Amino acid sequence: MYDQPRYEPLEGSDFFENGQSSRLPIDGTIAQGQLRLDKHLYQGMVNGELATTLPFEVTEEFLLRGQQRFDIYCSPCHDQIGRGNGVVVLRGLKKQPPSLHEQRLLESPVGHFFDVSTNGFGAMFSYASRISVHDRWAIAGYIRALQLSQSAKLEDLSAEDRKHLE
């Protein structure tokens, strides 16, 4: 039972001309479920630059999904408003991340947030294996909405909306 009569991966063999026990995939072969030609959607890139737009229509449902995913995956470090004072930081378990409201992040394209959640950055690890592509975009969209909400000014509101506040 210990040494079964079968070939192990990459084991030599005289069956094929190249001396390998298995064939290499045909050039251009793409594994099932791995066809990712849309660089905007899967890499957050447009013409080699970070995307400045979302690959989806922004709807209330999309932003609510982003908020839900942000609260689950991001708020433990970034807190619920993105200031970087999450429970993990307050307990001293991890270094404080930058505030999502820093000027450099306010000026960053939305593709930056998708890229960071996909590939990680600094002390933050990649979430690509934990969060689906669509949900990473929803989080990026929510972060942008969160940034706008925290820097909104009274004069940005319509007269009708200002009335509701008074």
Is residue 17 in some structural domain? no
Is residue 135 in some structural domain? yes
Is residue 15 in some structural domain? no
Number of domains observed in the structure of the chain: 1
The enclosing domain of 108 has a CATH number of 1.10.760.10
Is residue 16 in some structural domain? no
Is residue 100 in some structural domain? yes
Concatenating the DSSP letter of every residue in 60-114 gives HHHHHHHHHHIIIIIHHHH-TTSSS--HHHHTTSSPPPPPTTSHHHHSS-HHHHH
Is residue 22 in some structural domain? no
Is residue 125 in some structural domain? yes
The confidence score (pLDDT) of residue 12 equals 87
Mean pLDDT by 10 residues, the chain (166 residues): 78 86 86 89 95 95 97 96 93 92 96 97 93 97 94 81 79
Is residue 84 in some structural domain? yes
User: How many beta carbons lie within 10 A of that of residue 39, not counting itself?
Assistant: 14
Domain that holds residue 53: 39-165
